[in-house]
């Protein structure tokens, strides 16, 4: 078994009053590990396996989709279990940019975390929905205590 990697997904500018949850499996909802008015932060652990011929296969309870097109869902409003919300959306955070170089860098630094940041709002002002791009440089490795 390959050593697991820890991913941190930061949702910037979440819509006030709208709950966010990471989807685990088909229907389990995981709250953020940290939340402020400026950001909600989720963490998950995935197994990262090298494919013969190159590339990575990511496995774990939060990983959705086919091995070649893995992603995670960040659910908002009713999709996050908030029954009284006027919103019901899911943001699809692609893991496709998470390659062997990033994983190797994280594994080489004990306690490191791989971080990706998304905007928590869609163009219409509601919660992020559909496939969302990562902000900045995409997936980056952050050393412990950073």
Range(s) of the domain holding residue 53:
1-89+114-124
* Buried residues in 24-52 as b, exposed as e (16+ CB within 10 A): beeeebbebeeeeeeebebbbebebeeee
Whether 104 maps to a domain, the answer reads no
| DSSP SS3 for 13 | coil
What would the pLDDT profile of 68-122 be if each residue is shown by its tens digit? Answer: 899 999 999 999 999 999 999 999 999 988 888 999 999 999 899 999 999 999 9
Whether 49 maps to a domain, the answer reads yes
Q: What is the pTM for the complete model shown?
A: 0.94
**Total number of domains in the chain:** 1
Q: What is the reported pLDDT for 72?
A: 98
Backbone angles phi, psi at 104, to 5 degrees: -65, -40
CB 1 within 8 A of CB 49: no
Whether 45 maps to a domain, the answer reads yes
Whether 141 maps to a domain, the answer reads no
What would the pLDDT profile of 27-42 be if each residue is shown by its tens digit? Answer: 999 999 999 999 999 9
Whether 102 maps to a domain, the answer reads no
Where does residue 140 rank: exposed (0-12), middle (13-18), buried (19+ CB within 10 A)? Answer: middle
CB 20 within 8 A of CB 39: no
Whether 142 maps to a domain, the answer reads no
């Amino acid at each position: 078994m390959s050593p697991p990697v820890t991913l941190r997904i930061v949702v910037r500018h979440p819509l006030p009053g709208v709950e966010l949850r990471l989807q685990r499996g088909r229907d389990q909802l995981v709250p953020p590990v940290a939340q402020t008015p400026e950001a909600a932060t989720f963490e998950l652990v995935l197994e990262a396996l090298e494919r013969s011929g190159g590339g990575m296969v990511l496995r774990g309870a939060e990983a959705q989709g086919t091995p070649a097109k893995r992603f995670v869902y960040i659910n908002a409003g009713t999709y996050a279990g908030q029954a009284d919300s006027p919103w019901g959306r899911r943001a699809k955070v692609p893991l496709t940019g998470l390659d062997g170089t990033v994983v190797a860098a994280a594994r080489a630094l004990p306690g490191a975390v791989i971080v990706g940041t998304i905007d928590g709002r869609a163009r219409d002002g509601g919660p992020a929905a559909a496939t969302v791009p990562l902000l900045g440089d995409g997936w980056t490795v952050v050393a412990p205590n950073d």
